[in-house]
Amino acid sequence: MEFNIALLKGDGIGPEIVDSAVAVLEKTADKFGHKFNFTPYLIGGCAIDATGMPLPQETVDGCLASDSVLLGAVGGPKWDDLAGDIRPEKALLGIRSALGLYTNLRPAKLYPALRAASPLKDEIVGGGFDILIVRELTGGIYFGDRGFREGRYGHEAYDTEAYSVTEIERIGRAAFEAAVKRSKRLCSIDKANVLETSRLWRKTTHKLAEEYPEVSYTDMFVDNAAMQLVRDPRQFDVIVTSNMFGDILSDEASQITGSIGMLASASLGASKRGLYEPIHGSAPDIAGKNIANPIATILSGAMMLRYSFGLAKEADAIEAAVDKVLNDGCRTTDLMGTDKGTPLTCTEMTKRILEVL
């Protein structure tokens, strides 16, 4: 099979980690008899330097013409003083909107080999955990009406959250479908004791649950969910929630795994085309030093194969290779913890994974 992949390397460590993921994807293509065509486009700070804008139209057009998109990271102190509408981070919202991406999949997996890196006690994490957070990506308070006005106590700012039944149904259905393919457990997170949007969210997801009788469905308030993630993360399998709650809870979940350098993500819409990226930032302080952890981006490539291209065996092979090198004791700087020895560089870790593949 042949696929066209748009590469958005971006800023900071973005080029290094995307190059690692490309090497693994190329090796996987050779192993399984596929062909991946990679085309680079500018995004973020490097796009501002070259074109004056964080998301050039050429990049949007190139991504729309591709079968899927692999993104590194954007931003850095060089562009921190720019106005909000031309900052590198503005490109992320722009490309998600242009591609019609409303579902964000955030795996939070604690590998048994990295159990010591988790801040949670051994009796809590046990042999590890594997959570999938399904976050609504294009609605809610981040996209609602906002502004400034004179209020009860004088000048004030406001942000408005709104969700339609359609928006809730489509993210809810994505979560139920994901649960069907895993352990058939789904927890919906809201604040239905306070918010009208959450009451509509709960009513809509309850109705959807009737279509999936094989899925064990529960509700949980967001404040309780934040506590339960650190008290007993193994109780969760698939979590579905709103944009803002998902933003916060997925970051919490990433921290209890021990390293954000391990965590991939996928942003999907109605078509098979998706945007795949590691959840960590551009890490400008280590850019160019060849010490970044490439695994999150490599696993993002595996998610691309699984969700956009339907290549489950190929994705399994990449994930198994990552498991193997971790079980063999391979570590980049961020994974060392109290371990003694010399950490692998970005290219060395990539080489080990390629050797296993």
Q: Mind telling me the catalytic residues? A: 142, 191, 223, 247, 251
* Alpha helix ranges (H) inside 158-294: 165-180, 196-209, 222-231, 243-256
Q: Residue 66: left (phi > 0), alpha (psi -120 to 50), or beta?
A: beta
Alpha-carbon 221 to chain mean position: 23
**Residue whose C-alpha is closest to residue 181's, from 69, 307, 279:** 307
**Residue whose C-alpha is closest to residue 163's, from 115, 197, 120:** 197
User: Residue 283: CA atoms inside 13 Å, Cβ hemisphere, count?
Assistant: 21
Torsion of CA 133, 68, 297, 263, to 10 degrees: 0
Could you say which DSSP state residue 213 is in? T
Alpha-carbon 180 to chain mean position: 20
Q: If 0-12 CB within 10 Å is exposed, 13-18 middle and 19+ buried, where does residue 335 land?
A: buried
Q: Residue 339: enclosing H or E segment and its boundaries?
A: none
Which pairing describes strands 185-190 and 129-136: parallel, antiparallel, or unpaired?
unpaired
- Distances 161 to 94, 138, 171, 265 between C-alpha atoms, Å: 20, 12, 16, 24
